[in-house]
Amino acid sequence: MIARVPLISFFLLVGCLLLPQVAAAGIYRYVDAAGRVHFTNVPTSSKFRFYRDEGDRYTLGTLISHYARKFKLDESLIKAVIKVESDFDPQVVSSKGAQGLMQLMPETSHEIGVKNPFDPSDSIYGGSYYLRKMLDSFDRNLDYALAAYNAGPNAVRKYGGIPPFEETQNYVRRVKYYINHYQQSKDTL
């Protein structure tokens, strides 16, 4: 009986050490076709998108941090793209039809599984995923990836780099300016 006490104590100690990891779990949500919001800490399908870490307030900053880690991106890159694309307005629609914070075109949203581009979590997920795809497609060349995000990957391939479109060239410059700004200022959202 005495030999069991240290063993039980050991298991209790290990269990207590694991508790903080469980408490730091994320909360995920999705909105169904009827408009009902569903939350879980154990997503059972790809419909669920990260909402926030347990115990954290829901902020754009928590979403950006989460998806930056998930897709191995610099948070400053995501913030800069959001700043240039939508100026942090989740409801904006461009004259070309791009939607939400990260200004995803409907075809791109469909391709990458974004159901609601006006939902900040869905938009940041989709935009971050697409940025990662473009960086991987263009050998991590940030200029080419940003140009592809703006003008499409086929335009970058066609011209062998940043297309000679004034809008795209300005876009790449502006995003890089804001990347530097967010890296220097460490602004929080």
Over residues 132-176, the pLDDT tens digits come to 999 999 999 999 999 999 999 999 999 999 999 999 999 999 999
- Give phi and psi for 28, each to the nearest 5: -120, 155
Joined together, the tokens standing for residue 100 give 């939400």
- Based on C-alpha coordinates, what's the Rg of the chain? 21
The catalytic residue among 54, 75, 85, 107 is 85
Across 89-93, average pLDDT? 95
AA identity, residue 67:
Y
Between residues 12 and 179, which one has the greater pLDDT? 179
AA identity, residue 102:
M
CA distance 19 to 66: 21
Question: Is position 107 annotated as part of the catalytic site?
Answer: no
117-132 b/e (C-beta count within 10 Å ≥ 16 → b): bebbbbbbbbbbbbbb
Per-residue pLDDT tens for 5-48?
454 544 444 444 444 433 346 788 777 877 777 778 888 887 88
Kindly list the structural domains of the chain, giving each domain's residue range(s) and its CATH number in brackets, ordered by start: 23-58 (no CATH), 72-189 (1.10.530.10)
Single pTM value for the model:
0.74
59 pLDDT higher than 90: no
Joined together, the tokens standing for residue 181 give 């700004």
pLDDT band at 63, cuts 50/70/90? very high
